[in-house]
């Protein structure tokens, strides 16, 4: 069994029932609004946002800064409670999904613990919530390091790794335990373009191999279109859905697809949606 097959099959027993009950939808977001009250004013970060992602899907959340795309991701992860509306994650509430360890989260800065080696960072989730053991058949931390292309760097400390490598470690950490939903908040935003391109290709590969559902926040049109099976375009002030677009490109794609006609047609359309007045 390969690492990828192990990841795809590593679902805790308790989750099987829930999965059968709601086999098709990974995330269902209905009329979700989030408001932040401050002394000076009340900010509507998200206004009446609805969308769904199928199991095994790859949704890019695309929008300018301030459109609430990171906030939306945090509502899915139960880091922020919605002011109104309902969010369903893997057929349960976000809280239940979080407590069940069904989620992996990749942050904008890799958020590695600097006193732990790369491998120890990947192992961290096992030490939280009482000592946990990996679900049967799930890939080990070492296997995940290999999956993200970091075999041989296990003993390195974060400050000895490049930005791209740190982000790979954080992806491996998020994949530990075989999460059914991977949430990524502009993970490649701080990287140079060459590294970003390479990681984009690898993320597509990891997604195809693991069949994990991914929600990916970005403000790059190219990234959103290349990575996603569908793209949710958001507008700012207040954050709301501008359009939901299915990307009709072959599942097996490499970066050269960005030079093709269909890709550019979609990208142009998306830029139009982003540039248009409200």
Partner 1 sequence: MSASVDVAQVLDPRVSDAEAQFRRLKQREAWRRRILPCVGILIGIGVWAALVYVFNVPPFIAPSPFTVVATFVTKFDVLMSNLWPTVVESVGGFVIGNLIAVALATIFVHRKTISETFFPLVVLINSIPVVAKAPILVLLLGNGFAPKIAIAAVISFFPTLVNMVRGLESVNPQAMELMRVLSASEREVFFKLRLYNSLPYLFSALRISASSSVIGAIVGEWIGSNYGIGALIIQATYNFDSALLYATVFVGSVFSVLFFSAIGLVEKLVVRWQPPSAG
Yes or no: say if 18 and 181 are a contact pair by the CB < 8 Å rule. no
Q: Does 79 bind partner 1 (CB under 8 A)?
A: yes
- For residue 231, the cross-strand partners are 60, 245
Q: Does 134 bind partner 1 (CB under 8 A)?
A: no
Q: Which of 109, 201, 202, 209 binds partner 1 (CB under 8 A)?
A: 109
CB of 196 to partner 1, least distance (A): 19
Yes or no: say if 155 and 117 are a contact pair by the CB < 8 Å rule. yes
Q: Which CB sits closer to partner 1, 54 or 78?
A: 78
CB of 189 to partner 1, least distance (A): 13
- Select from 247, 220, 216, 245 the least CA-distant residue to 233: 245
Q: Which CB sits closer to partner 1, 37 or 128?
A: 128
Residue 178 CA to residue 175 CA, distance in Å, equals 6
Give the per-residue contact string, 140-159, with partner 1 (x = CB under 8 A; - = no): ------------x----xxx
Pairing of strands 240-246, 42-54: unpaired
- For residue 52, the cross-strand partners are 28
Adjacency order of strands within the sheet including 25-37: 42-54, 25-37, 84-89
CB of 103 to partner 1, least distance (A): 6
Residue 184 CA to residue 193 CA, distance in Å, equals 18
Q: Taking CB under 8 A as the criterion, which residues in 231-250 touch partner 1?
A: none
Q: Which of 18, 53, 77, 89 binds partner 1 (CB under 8 A)?
A: 77
Query: Residue 193 is encoded by which pair of tokens?
Result: 């373009």
Q: Does 98 bind partner 1 (CB under 8 A)?
A: yes
Contact residues toward partner 1 (CB under 8 A) are 74, 77-79, 98-99, 101, 103-105, 107-109, 111, 113-115, 124-125, 127-129, 152, 157-159
């Amino acid at each position: 069994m390969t690492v990828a097959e192990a990841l795809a099959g590593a679902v805790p027993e308790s989750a099987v029932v829930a999965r059968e009950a709601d086999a098709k939808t990974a995330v269902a977001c209905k009329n979700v609004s989030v408001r932040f009250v401050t002394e000076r004013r009340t900010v509507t970060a998200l206004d009446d946002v609805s969308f769904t992602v199928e199991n095994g899907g790859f949704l890019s959340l695309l929008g300018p800064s301030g459109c609430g795309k990171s906030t939306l991701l945090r509502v899915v992860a139960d880091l922020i409670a919605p002011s109104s509306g309902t969010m369903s994650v893997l057929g349960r509430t976000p809280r239940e999904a979080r407590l069940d360890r069904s989620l992996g989260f990749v942050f904008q800065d890799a958020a590695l613990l600097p006193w732990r080696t790369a491998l120890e960072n990947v192992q961290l989730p096992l030490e939280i919530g009482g000592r946990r053991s990996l679900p049967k058949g799930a890939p080990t931390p070492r296997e995940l390091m290999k999956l993200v292309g970091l075999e041989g760097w296990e003993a390195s400390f974060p400050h000895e790794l490049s930005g791209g490598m740190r982000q790979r470690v954080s992806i491996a950490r998020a994949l530990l335990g075989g999460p059914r939903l991977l949430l990524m908040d502009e993970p490649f935003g701080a990287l140079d373009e060459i590294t970003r391109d390479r990681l984009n290709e690898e993320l597509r590969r990891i997604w195809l191999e693991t069949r994990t559902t991914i929600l990916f926040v970005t403000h790059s049109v190219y990234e959103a279109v290349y990575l996603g099976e569908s793209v949710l375009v958001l507008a700012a002030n207040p954050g709301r859905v501008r359009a939901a677009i299915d990307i009709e490109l072959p599942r097996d794609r490499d970066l050269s697809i960005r030079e093709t006609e269909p890709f550019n047609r979609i990208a142009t359309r998306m830029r139009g949606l982003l540039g248009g007045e409200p």
